[in-house]
Amino acid sequence: CKPLAPRPTPKTIHDLRPDDFSTIMGIGDSIMAGMGAGQVDTKLSDGIWHAMREWRGANFATGGDPESISVGNIIRRYRPDIRGLSYGNHSWEFCYGVNIDNQLNYLNKYLPTVDPDYQTSWKLAIYELGYNDLCSACMAPKSKAAAKESVLDNFRHQTRRAVERIRFMAPKTVVVLMGPFNLTQISDVASRSPTCKKRRAFLGLECPCLMKTANRLLGSFQTMDDLAVAMNDVLQDVANEY
C-alpha cells in the first residue's frame, strides 16, 4: 500500500485514517503482553525459556518489533512516528487476574510524556480482556448459571469503568473493545503442533480449563464457548451506550 498524502488533522472521528493516530495504547491481559508469542526452539530447555516470557514486541496490538504483524506496525506504515509501540521481551509476570486500574493509572501518568499533545491529538486504545475468566470457567461452583452472571456483571462494570476513565483522561481516543474468541476452537490445532505442545506442557496454569483434554468430556469447553459469546454481547452493549 502506498503512503498517504499528508492532510490537516481531521476534526471528527468519522474522518480518521491510519496516519491520523499519533499514539497507540494497549490495555489487557497476558495476550496483550505477548505471552509465549516468541519462536520456540526445538530444544526443550529453550521451549521452557520462551514459554515463560512475555514477547511484548510481538503482541497483536502494539507490537513494534520489525517482523511483527500488529496493528501498531500497520499504522506505522502510514505514520512512521507513531508512539506507544512495544519492543523486545520481558520476564513473565505471574499474576493471575488483571488490575485494569493499575494499567490506567500507568497510562494516565506517562501519556503526557509519550505524547505531549495528547489533549488534541488522535489516539487509538485497544482494550482486550476476558480470557482469564474463560480459562477458569470450568472451576465455577455448582451454580454455574449464577457464577456466569457474576462474571458478566463484573466484566460489564470493569469495561464501563475503563472506557469512562479513558474518555476523561485521554480525549480524542478511539477505544477498540476486542471481544474474546472461542479458545476451544484452537485446542485441536494446538494439540497437533510440536511448538504448541511445548508451551502447553509448561503453561497449564495459564488456562487450566483448556489445557486438560478431559474437560472436553465434562462439558467445560461448551461452558467456555457460551461465556465467550456472552462476553461479546456485553462489549456490544457497552459500545452501544456511546
Specify the pairing of strand 21-28 against strand 53-54: unpaired
Give pLDDT, residue 39. Answer: 62
pLDDT band for position 120 (cuts 50, 70, 90): very high
Q: CA–CA separation, 159 vs 162, rounded Å?
A: 5
The 10s digit of each residue's pLDDT in 29-78 is 988 988 877 765 545 445 556 666 788 999 999 999 998 999 999 999 99
Q: Which residue matches cell numbers 505471552?
A: 35
Give the CATH number of domain 18-240: 3.40.50
Mean pLDDT of 214-226: 77
Mean pLDDT of 217-229: 84
C-alpha cell at 81: 512516528
Give pLDDT, residue 208. Answer: 78
* Amino acid (one-letter) located at 113: T
Query: CA-CA distances (angstroms) from residue 222 to 196, 200, 219, 239?
Result: 22, 20, 5, 26
C-alpha cell at 22: 499519533
DSSP β-bridge partners for residue 114: none
Mean pLDDT of 140-147: 70
pLDDT band for position 163 (cuts 50, 70, 90): very high
Which class for 229: exposed (0-12), middle (13-18), buried (19 or more C-beta within 10 A)?
Answer: exposed
pLDDT band for position 156 (cuts 50, 70, 90): very high
Average predicted confidence (pLDDT) for the chain: 85
DSSP β-bridge partners for residue 176: 126
Share of the chain above pLDDT 90, in %: 55
